[in-house]
């Protein structure tokens, strides 16, 4: 049989409102549950699959053909596949790329992740845009009613602290680029679900990077004697992360700090702001963000389902960036404390590299100092 015509066994997606999409399996032949979200990127499926911010979620790609350049050894953003399930219109069974080491299907099978193909992903995306993201289940060889009942009795996405599931269990040092490399700065990254390209981007700028668990205390972090601290992206509801907020409170004003995505939301909470859930989130590589300081508009990579509300924000804080699609807060700055944060992903992977300048801003803060001990 032509490989292009091979299909796995019948499989279904059941949404919590009872909607059923019928297709076929192309990953692990098992069932899964999670919050169903969509991503609008045209490339970068390997980075999406390995992004810890997708923990607990079933990801739908809106681009129709996925897998055509296979899976390589370079584009992983963490040590494993992080999504709960993966939905595409048409997976490519015959990738063509010199760096490819396996197919998309082989990757999903390796990590026991179910894939669903052959459904109308446009209709599913429209439904999520209209009604909002919702819980769903992918089932292979299971009745829709059985899956729906399991959905209604299981935990919801915003009831689980996924950060504790994806964070590193112990501190580790990101490798130096070569044996003779001499760092300019020492940076600690608080791992709420860090992507490897954040660590690569800091290292390229002369930073010795140590990654610590999200449960690390301010005292444990300061004991590393860092010149600066990064609060990483990550999955889930920031309202569940009081322990990370307490840590950030103990660090603010003592070292320059950069917050990215979930780290931005944590810092917003530190400075009095609340957070709220977006209807269908921002996930993709083409979101326009305006820098209010310069008036310049950047195209950004984003992956978040929650946002910071300006209500209650400390007067010393300043909103620096806004999303031009819906006006939500995309950046904050606390000049007196050498703290700033962004809601989007400056490190891209996947997405445009237009926002790498923000890592340079963090370097400048460390060059200026800002270390306060005691």
Alpha-carbon gap, residue 338 to 372, rounded angstroms: 11
Could you confirm whether 282 is annotated as catalytic? no
Residue pointed to by tokens 């508009």: 297
Is 192 annotated as catalytic? no
Neighbour-count burial of 245, counting CB atoms closer than 10 A to its CB (0-12 exposed, 13-18 middle, 19+ buried):
middle
Nearest to 214 by CA among 173, 169, 269: 169
Using an 8 Å Cβ cutoff, are 59 and 47 in contact?
Answer: no
**Of 26, 20, 24, nearest to 36 (Cα)?**
20
Closest to 345 measured CA to CA, from 224, 194, 244: 194
Q: What is the spatial order of strands in the sheet that 339-342 belongs to?
A: 172-173, 207-213, 185-191, 228-231, 257-260, 339-342, 329-334, 318-323, 275-291, 297-308
- Which string of DSSP letters, residue by residue, matches 53-81? GGTTEEEEESSSEE-TT-B-SS--SSSS-
Which one is catalytic: 264, 287, 321, 345?
Answer: 345
Q: Confirm whether 97 is a catalytic residue.
A: no
The token duo for 284 is: 């993709």
Dist CA 357 CA 47 (whole Å): 21
Separation of first and last alpha carbons in the chain: 70
Task: Give me the catalytic one of 208, 261, 282, 330.
Answer: 261
147, two tokens:
């899956």
Active site residues: 261, 345, 347
């Amino acid at each position: 049989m032509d490989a292009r015509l091979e299909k796995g066994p019948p499989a279904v997606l059941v949404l919590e409102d009872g909607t059923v999409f019928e297709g076929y399996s192309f990953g692990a032949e098992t069932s899964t549950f999670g919050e169903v979200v969509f991503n609008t990127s045209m490339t970068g499926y390997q980075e999406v699959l390995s992004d810890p911010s997708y923990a607990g979620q079933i990801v739908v790609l809106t681009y129709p053909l996925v897998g055509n350049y296979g899976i390589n050894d370079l584009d992983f953003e963490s040590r494993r596949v992080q999504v709960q399930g993966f939905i595409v219109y048409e997976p490519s069974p015959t990738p063509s790329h010199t760096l490819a080491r396996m197919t998309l299907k082989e990757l999903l099978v390796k990590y026991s992740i179910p894939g669903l193909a052959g459904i109308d992903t446009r209709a599913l995306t429209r439904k999520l845009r209209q009604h909002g993201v919702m819980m769903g289940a992918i089932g292979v060889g299971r009745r829709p009613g059985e899956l729906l009942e399991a959905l209604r009795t299981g935990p919801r996405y915003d009831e689980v602290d996924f950060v504790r599931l994806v964070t590193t269990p112990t501190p580790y040092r990101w490798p130096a680029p070569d044996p003779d490399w001499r760092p300019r700065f020492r940076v600690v990254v608080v791992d709420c679900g860090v992507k490897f390209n954040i660590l690569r981007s800091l290292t390229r700028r002369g930073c010795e990077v140590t990654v610590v668990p999200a449960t690390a205390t301010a005292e444990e972090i300061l004991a590393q004697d860092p010149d600066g601290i990064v609060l990483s992206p990550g999955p889930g509801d920031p309202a569940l992360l009081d322990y990370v907020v307490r840590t950030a409170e103990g660090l603010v004003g003592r070292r320059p700090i950069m917050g990215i995505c979930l780290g931005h939301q944590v810092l917003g909470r530190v400075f009095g702001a609340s957070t709220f859930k977006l209807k269908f989130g921002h996930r993709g590589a083409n979101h326009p963000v305006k820098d209010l300081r310069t008036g310049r508009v950047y195209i950004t990579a984003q992956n978040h389902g929650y946002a910071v509300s300006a209500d209650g924000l400390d007067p010393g804080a300043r909103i620096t960036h806004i999303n031009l699609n819906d006006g939500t807060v995309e950046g904050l700055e606390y000049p007196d404390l050498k703290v700033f944060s962004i809601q989007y992903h400056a490190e891209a992977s996947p997405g445009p590299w237009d926002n790498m300048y923000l890592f340079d801003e963090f370097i400048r803060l460390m060059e200026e100092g800002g270390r306060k001990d005691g």
